[in-house]
Structure 1
Amino acid sequence: MFQVNFIDVQAESAIFDGEGWDAVVVVTPDLGAIGIDEISLLAEHGAKVDKRVGNSPTLLFAPGLAGGRLIIAPVTQVADDYADVRVYGDVARVAIAIAKDAGAKRPLLYVVPSATPKFGFATEVAALACGQELWQTLELREATGLTPAFEAIGLLSLSADTSSADKSHLLNALEAGRVLARDLCGTEPERMSAKAFADYCLQSFKGSVIKTAVVEDRDILERDYPLLSAVARSSFAVGRHQPRVVKLEYLPEGEITRTFLFAGKGVVYDTGGADLKVGGAMAGMSRDKGGASAVAGLFKTLSMLKPKGIRVIAELGLVRNSIGSEAFVTDEIISSHAGARVRIGNTDAEGRLVLADLLSHLRIKAVTAVKPELFSVATLTGHVVRCYGNYPAAVENVVANATNCALTLQQQASQWGEPFEVSTLRREDFAKIREVSGAADILSSNNAPSSVTARGHQYPAAFLLKASGLFEHGVNAAIPLAYTHLDIAGSATEGDPLYGKPTASPLVGLYQYLINR
């Protein structure tokens, strides 16, 4: 797998030439706080002759230090009330790119510790930012045989705390999950078709503790996933475009104290279906599988870290929303797996149809599970991007709200550089899915783009509750079930909205939530 290999380093002597490292990258909020005499002297001297030193990431000639290269990466925004830990990641990315361009193969990364609580995971965030910077697309790697830029990145810690020696194990597992998620999300629709996505998952989990299964038989899909199969109807005729449902399960050793269940939207390509995307709006729609990709990556991390006490189950719906003579159309009424009669309001609102059937299956498992919480993860709406830009949104049902699921996730994810926004589900959201003719139970969507629809990212959660049967498990039900919908349309990629680098969001935040809940 194409990824960074992090290695824990706790000896200050590692900064010197001859110790096996060939560059020293220092991420610091203050030149005076570095705490290593040799580096501090070089930084102070450099600042006297080059005003960039201490103001922007700068490469210094450093005789005697590893590789003769010292890169000082100042974090200049720590005093900003509205800055968060991502400022460490921002400068680390620039600095590691300088190290790569300078020819380093084994850089040593030292993040000067901060006493400010919101920067408590600065080293981890900086290291993961390096992984984000260094990842290259699967297509490029397969076409050119490209290998990772670095043999390893050393994580220098001068702390006497022995727990810091395990930091690389955690980060390598998180980054392995993020690489898998990026590969799945960012790869073009023929190389990462539904079948190829499923096969890539199976290969990635081969020999691991993750239990896997793939549903591909059309009769079974149409019986058990009728809404999903409607979306896929026009793609069944093309063998390589046929849909899949990937089932994943992580079971820990010992007692199970909590259960987490995930539905992941994996629309491997979205033409919009009969409500065809026009005017260039189809470009980038191979990235509409970011939710399923992030969930798959989460399981890669789980397979390596094997946390105790938690059982994690997922269903990934992998579908191509094709246009053709077999395509499903607006106005059709289709019964969901849970038995809700759904009138199709717009075939380009296909992701919620895929998720509804997955959630219905997970609902059945959750009823008998230990302390279950359900999630859907999806690049679902343009509205969430209009509302929150590059931030994902969490929309929870009243059961989840009662135990602060979304707020807890927001807190955990923000500490690790993946901040969330929390949206509230309201009665107006259920009014939007009312089917006025009486012929069906609910309407899947209105017929306008979500980006210009009031509450366009909130009301799909109301639909998912109704279509999946989860609405019947509210606070007054015999078996209440907590459910949170995560719309990651704004955070799944960075930079260019069509072809920017996938981020694997919200994998890191979700993992922290799982182990700390």
Structure 2
Amino acid sequence: MEIKLFNSNNKNINDDLELIVLQNLKNIDKKISKKLKKIGFEGKESQECFFENKLYIGATSLKKEDLKIAFANAIRSIQKTKFKNILINLVGEKELNIKDLTEGLILGAYSFQDYKSEKKESKINIFIDVKGSKKTLEELKKDFEETKKICDSVNMVRTIVNTTPEDFYPKSFSQKAKEIALKNNLECKIYGEEYLLDNGMNAMLAVGRASRHESQLVHLTYKPKKAKAKVVIVGKGLTYDAGGLSLKQDMVSMKCDKSGGSAVLGILEAVSKLKLDVEVHGIIGAVENMIGGDAYKPDDILKAKNGVTIEVTNTDAEGRLVLADCLCYAQDEIEDIDSIFDVATLTGACIVALGEYTTGVMGHSEKMKKQIQKASNKSGELVGFLPYNRYLPEMLKSSIADVVNSPGSRAGSSITASLFLDKFIKKENKNKWLHLDIAGAAYREKVWGYNNFGGTGASVRLLVEYIKKIG
């Protein structure tokens, strides 16, 4: 799909189909309104109607998420037809937001077909007529290009998440990081298991021990000339999670456990393309959690990079072990951090608490929570906040080590997982850290708004927006 902006005052195009998004039928020609009502179209969300070389799409409103969803629905419908040249008028009953329109089209048009024997090619040309806009063509093109860069990174992340564990494993992460670094002038450091052993990263090392694929620690850095802040993002990169010896009952879709690490790649690509004035470090713990004679076991005691000892009570609570060492690495290697996030498909309990579409946010800093809420409102990614309290840390106590990796209770288990990670955040960084649990938002097995089946690229738009605002 190709999108072009033009002004019909200066240029005409030959279109096959005009796409019109309507909130209701009040502001269109009465004769057309009557005909549309006769065939059951009332302008409600998700309604669509092809009529006289026009595609009418219903929307709850003509702004923000409603507009994105409307255009996502529209492009999916067009992809099922043979129409090639599509006209959209930016200014109709009101001027549409070019960023929301673009986001809906690009994210809605995404399709993962890498494993299809017959691929459906969608050679669609979208022409957006900006005639009557309050902005100049140059201003609109700037907004369009910025949005496209972010959406392209989201779609890259979706493709990584959707790729099978046989084709995307820990060393694939390091290879992809190198490619992104080379294209975007980023620093890239890759470390293998020898480094993990030498540097006391025994928790991460244990998780990947039974895999035939060597675990990889990836560190990407974007450094502008005059950085206004320094942000660190740590991502869980479990390329597959069988649960270890605490074997999962259902492993289908566990390729999605690399969503946090994949998002780190997308964020670093986007901030470098946007040339933001913030130094950003992306750290990925790329591991495969398998079973075998060399697998780590319940009852093992692991010592993390910061010296904290961990009693393993559940080998399927592996993501927090990987993140623990990666968080320690980040704080040891990077000075003067302004904010630090970890992003992970960490707990199914987060889906129970907040639903399938919402990222769980936990941490000590109320200021950062307010900032991430603003980024949520702007980006459209949903967030919900889960509170700490004085009683839950007791559940992580061990009789034979400093802490257990899993309390063995479902009660508040998203929060206790976050409190486990808190053990690996230095005192001076407690109010600079937030944990993002993307277990629900990262992968869906049905169409959701402008997200199709599979990976969603969760947290890319959210954290890019956060970084834009602090820069």
Given the two structures, how large is their TM-score scaled by the length of structure 1? 0.82
- Classify the secondary structure of the residue corresponding to 1:178: helix
Specify every segment of 5 or more residues in structure 1 that has no aligned partner in the other structure, as ranges: 35-39, 62-68, 475-479
25, 44, 49: which one aligns with 2:19: 25
- Matches of 1:432 and 1:105, distance apart in 2: 59
Cα 1:195/1:366, change in 2 over 3 Å: closer
Counterparts in 2 of 1:144 and 1:430: CA distance versus 1, 3 Å: same
Quote the sequence identity (%).
Answer: 23
Aligned to 2:422: 465
Find 1:500's aligned residue among 453, 462, 465: 453
Query: Counterpart of 1:98?
Result: 77
Alpha carbons of structure 1 residues 209 and 271: separation in structure 2 relative to 1, 3 Å: same
Distance, in Å, in 2 between the alignment partners of 1:336 and 1:145 is 46
Give the aligned residue type for 1:177. S
Q: How many residues align?
A: 460
| Aligned-residue CA RMSD (Å) | 2.7
Cα distance in 2 between the residues matched to 1:335 and 1:277:
25
Q: Which runs of 5+ in 2 are unaligned?
A: none
Cα displacement (A) at 1:394: 4.1
Specify the alignment match of 2:320 in structure 1. Answer: 352
Q: Structure 1 residues 151, 246: closer, same or farther in 2, change over 3 A?
A: farther
C-alpha separation in 2, matches of 1:206 and 1:258: 23
| CA drift at 1:471 | 4.4
CA–CA distance in 1 between the matches of 2:381 and 2:361?
16
Written as runs of structure 1 = structure 2, the 5 A alignment for 1:61-460 is 61=52, 69-75=53-59, 77-78=60-61, 85-110=64-89, 123-137=98-112, 139-140=114-115, 144=118, 147=121, 149-157=122-130, 158-162=132-136, 163-216=139-192, 218-224=193-199, 225-235=201-211, 238=212, 241-253=213-225, 255-278=226-249, 281-307=250-276, 309-369=277-337, 372-398=338-364, 400-401=365-366, 404-435=367-398, 437=399, 439-448=400-409, 453-460=410-417
Asked if structure 1 preserves the Cα contact closer than 8 Å seen for 2:99 and 2:144, the reply is no
Q: Is the 8 A contact 2:203 2:322 kept in 1?
A: yes
* Contact 1:226-1:336 at 8 Å conserved across structures: yes
SS in 1 for 2:455: coil
CA gap 1:261/1:251 in 2 versus in 1, 3 angstroms: same
Q: In the aligned structure 2, how far is the partner of 1:446 from the partner of 1:145?
A: 47
Distance change >3 Å, CA 465–CA 219, structure 1 → 2: same
Moved more, 106-115 or 47-56: 106-115
State the Cα distance separating 1:29 from its structure 2 match: 1.8
Change (3 A) 1:127 1:96: same
Deviation digits for residues 32-56 of structure 1, max 9, x if unmatched? 557xxxxx58854643653315342
Q: The residue matched to 1:457 in structure 2 has which SS?
A: helix
> Tell me, what secondary structure is at the counterpart of 2:235?
strand
CA deviation profile, 1:334-384 (whole Å, cap 9, x unmatched): 111111111112100000011111111111245434xx1000000110001
In structure 2, the partner of 1:66 is none
SS at match of 2:184: coil
What is the alpha-carbon distance in structure 1 between the residues aligned to residue 390 and residue 35 of structure 2?
61
* Residue-by-residue CA offset, 1:85-118 (whole Å, 9 max, x unaligned): 3222332222112222222234234466898xxx
2:346–2:439: 8 Å Cα contact kept in structure 1? yes
Q: CA–CA distance in 2 between the matches of 1:422 and 1:53?
A: 37
Report the more deviating stretch, 23-32 or 171-180.
Answer: 23-32
Tell me how far apart the structure 2 counterparts of residues 414 and 121 of structure 1 sit (CA, whole Å).
18
The 8 Å contact of residues 385 and 489 in structure 1, kept in 2 or not, is answered as yes
**What amino acid maps onto 2:103 in structure 1?**
L
Give the Cα separation in 2 of the matches to 1:46 and 1:397: 55
1:53/1:358 CA distance change after superposition, 3 Å: same
